[in-house]
Amino acid sequence: MSSATLTSNGKIAYNFSFYPTIKNSKNKIAETAESILFDMNKPSSYSNNIDLCKIISNEKINAISKLEKNWNGNGADRFSKKIIRVAYEIIDNLEMQPEIFPTARDSIQLEYENSSKDYLEFEIFKDKIKMFSYKNDGSEETTKDIDSNQLNNIISKFYERQI
């Protein structure tokens, strides 16, 4: 996936590789979220993590924008400029960055998993956002359309903290 560090001279060094699969990504999402939550006790570190995570997310969107036709081996089209622009705008406004994946439906999927292994997903289309979530114990599953201005509130509630 991605790794990034803040060097002693204040520059960001990161290695980025993009894999359009979701297998094994859920553990990484939880680890990332927990490391950000842990570092919240250090305000400057938290701020650096947020900035660094946004840079990594933007690099992932950039990588998706460069995928060629048939990028998935099943005839998927290239991503439209509009969906890429919408994804950049959404990522820029998120307080907690997700794992990011392309779909073959000209949409971009944002995924979160909390320490309880509950799952939250947003599928970003040009003109709408679909949310899907489920609790790991199977007690609740939700699918609905949402507005982009609801994202941070939903994510905050998912992690049971205020952003």
pLDDT higher than threshold 50 for residue 109: yes
**pLDDT 10s digits, 80-100:** 999 999 999 999 999 999 999
Q: 146 vs 161, which has greater pLDDT?
A: 146
Percent with pLDDT over 70 in the chain: 67
Nearest to 87 by CA among 115, 107, 67: 107
- Inter-residue contact 132 to 75 (CB < 8 Å): no
**pLDDT 10s digits, 64-78:** 999 999 999 999 999
- Inter-residue contact 134 to 112 (CB < 8 Å): no
d(Cα 56, Cα 50) in Å, to the nearest integer?
A: 10
Annotate 39-55 with b (16+ C-beta within 10 A) or e (fewer).
beeeeeeeebbbebbbb
**pLDDT 10s digits, 34-74:** 444 433 334 444 455 668 889 999 999 999 999 999 999 99
CA distances from 15 to 55, 89, 127 (A): 11, 23, 32
Residues 147, 96, 31, CA angle at the centre, nearest 5°? 135
pLDDT at 20: 39
For 120-152, the DSSP string reads EEEEE-SS-EEEEEE-TTSS-EEEEEE-GGGHH
pLDDT higher than threshold 90 for residue 10: no
pLDDT at 32: 43
Q: 123 vs 163, which has greater pLDDT?
A: 123
**Domain extents in the chain:** 2-158
pTM of the prediction?
Answer: 0.69
